[in-house]
A and B are shown apart, each in its own frame.
Chain A
Amino acid sequence: MSPSSAQMKRRAGFDFTRWAIHPALIFTVVFFALPLTAMVVVSFWQRVYGKLTATWTLANYSKFFAKDYLLDALLNSIEVTLATTAISILLAYPLAYILAYRIPAHWQRFVLILTVLPFWTAYVVRSYSWLLVISEKGILNVMLMDIGLINEPLAMSYSRGATVLGFVHFFTMLLTLTIYANLVQIKSSYRKAAADLGASPLQVFLRITLPLSLPGVAVGAFITFVICIGDYITPQILGGGTEVLIPQAIMLQVSRAANFPMASVMSITLMVVVVAVYFISAKHLKMERV
């Protein structure tokens, strides 16, 4: 196409379309990239009498890896996050499969929306809602005692299990969405061809559907990992102080001690873990397929 007269005119002088990207770009650099850089810098600074001082040191890092309770927070977080991701995948996969292949097409969208609607429950109250269900006088204990399954209320809240339960509830919805989006894109002709060639339904699933749906699982699992390992509210409300996860440890450094260097070290460690997980799963992370 030959350049139009408007294009010719634009050759000279200020070109607005070229600069349209810049506000967003500059905003992201100033309020996202710079703060993260500041965080890295501060992680090498010292705190003298509670004030940040620009003297360079590695002490914060060595302290983090020397103190058991700080390192434990990271390990606890990784354990809880891995458990959450694994259980959520196991619950979400059959659900997504049923939605994609067992529900009639014109009902699929409705049932899918129904399944992920509680996604929008108020974030701070989501964990609290589970407390209502599993607390000592909560509805679950009352029901179990009514049908005589138990005599004494079970102590379910304020434990690692409760934290994982709260997480699994939320991430099952998220994973159902990403796995479903992947499953409906797999052409039914692949499954039919496999069946025609003599594959049993189980073989069709194991050798056709499952491998082709792994990108959806990987993307969902990665998002789950990133959000879950950085979440403060769920362990704070449901975990009940039985153990400290890394976001809680970071918040303790910020709110109690105003120890920004240590909070930075821990935040950076958390980011390094996420980046590592990204590279481990990068092989399957084809975002455009979902």
Chain B
Amino acid sequence: MPAWIKNAPAAAYLIAALVFIYLPVVVLVVFSFQDGLLPVPPFNGPSLQWYEKMFANERLMDSLLNSVVVAISSALVTTVLGFLAAYGMARRKPRFAGSIRFVLMAPLTVSYLIIGIGLLITLNIVGIPKSLFAVGIGHVVINLPLCFAIIYSQFGDHLRNIDWAARDLGAGDFHTLTRVIAPIMKPSLFASFCLSATLSWDEFIIAFLLSRFEVTMPVIIFEMLRAGLTPEVNAAGTMVFAISMVTVGIAAVVMVLNYGVKK
């Protein structure tokens, strides 16, 4: 039997799977360039009118700015906390290391919805109003386990020795961390910053529950969805997708260039 016949079912399945996976993405992107009122066939385009309309939509652009601020600030806090925790864990191998890891990783097993409701109830009891700041806190909670795990996985034993060497040469805590350890860890710090910024940028339910007047972009897009199918949502969705891909792409390239392809 020739090889191509043997491989034909596998190739057919792969192609069918890729069509299934890409169908909604392609439809979303293509009909964001629709020249007409509805993002359904026939396609009359391409036209940039819906992108123009999107950039003229003040509420959407305000929320875009909010999203960027929340994403960058929450990712910064997440990365710093994750880095310190990973450093402490790797450098000292503390007692109760198992329990500490359990606590740090626990938020991964709870739905975002429940984390959001818990924070909402807490705000309510303490009497703090909802705000973008609260959204940022929520995003640090959900992203910290991932960042900690990524950074911790790159802490090898060689770093312990480098840490000791730095201290023997007279560096204090602060200088050891900022001038020696952090520069060595830069690629994974950068990758975990990009990853948590992307996840925050795209997060909906916590942002929806914990924000009030100032909201993030996914919340506004969700409001726009109530108006039904419109190419403006396609344009907004395409933009969110593009920005996520660029950020994740940069992180992936940095990781691969610095640590090589791990298999």
Contact = CB atoms under 8 A, between A and B. Distances in A.
B244 A120 contact: yes
A167 interface: no
Interface stretch (B17-25, B48-56, B184-192): B17-25
A79 B137 CA distance: 33
B162 interface: no
B13 interface: yes
Nearest to A132: B27
B22 A118 contact: yes
**Interface size, B (range):** 35 or more
Contacts of B106: 28, 32-33
A227 B244 contact: no
B114 A31 contact: no
Contacts of A128: 28, 225, 229, 233, 237
A106 to B, nearest CB: 11
Contacts of A83: none
A175 to B, nearest CB: 12
A6 B167 contact: yes
A183 B244 CA distance: 29
Interface string B28-41: 10010000001111
A227 B111 contact: yes
A52 B39 CA distance: 45
A19 B174 CA distance: 13
Contacts of B193: none
Interface in A235-290: 237, 247, 250-251, 254, 260, 263-264, 267, 270-271, 274, 278
**Interface size, A (range):** 35 or more
A102 B120 CA distance: 49
Contact of A169 (B21, B87, B248): B21
Contact of B94 (A18, A130, A132, A271): A18
A16 B177 CA distance: 10
Interface string B208-231: 010000000010011001000100
Q: Which of A124, A251, A267 has the most CB of B within 10 A?
A: A124
Contacts of B244: 120-122
Interface in A102-155: 102-103, 109, 111, 114-115, 117-118, 120-126, 128-133, 135, 137-139, 142
B20 to A, nearest CB: 7
Interface string B72-96: 0000000011101101110110100
Interface in A50-106: 52, 91, 94-95, 98-99, 102-103
Could you tell me the dominant secondary structure of chain B's interface residues? helix
A189 interface: no
A201 to B, nearest CB: 11
B250 interface: no
B261 A21 contact: no
A233 B81 CA distance: 30
Nearest to A14: B173
A156 interface: no
A103 B234 CA distance: 34
Contact of B121 (A38, A94, A226): A38
Contacts of B167: 4, 6-7, 10
A28 B144 contact: yes
24 contacts: A21-B85, A21-B100, A23-B84, A29-B103, A35-B122, A36-B114, A38-B118, A39-B117, A109-B261, A115-B18, A120-B245, A122-B218, A122-B240, A124-B218, A125-B234, A125-B237, A128-B225, A132-B27, A132-B40, A139-B41, A169-B20, A184-B263, A267-B114, A267-B118
Interface of B: 7, 10, 13-14, 17-18, 20-25, 27-28, 31, 38-41, 80-82, 84-85, 87-89, 91-92, 94, 100, 103-104, 106-107, 109-115, 117-122, 124-125, 137-138, 140-141, 144, 148, 164, 167-168, 173, 198, 202-205, 209, 218, 221-222, 225, 229, 233-234, 236-237, 240-241, 244-245, 248, 261, 263
* Nearest 4 CB-CB pairings of A with B: A230-B111, A125-B237, A20-B88, A35-B118
Interface of A: 4-7, 10, 16-25, 27-29, 31-36, 38-39, 42, 52, 91, 94-95, 98-99, 102-103, 109, 111, 114-115, 117-118, 120-126, 128-133, 135, 137-139, 142, 169, 172-173, 184, 226-227, 229-233, 237, 247, 250-251, 254, 260, 263-264, 267, 270-271, 274, 278
Given A121-B241, A227-B111, 12 more contacts: A32-B115, A115-B18, A120-B245, A124-B221, A132-B229, A139-B27, A172-B20, A229-B111, A230-B114, A233-B204, A233-B205, A254-B209
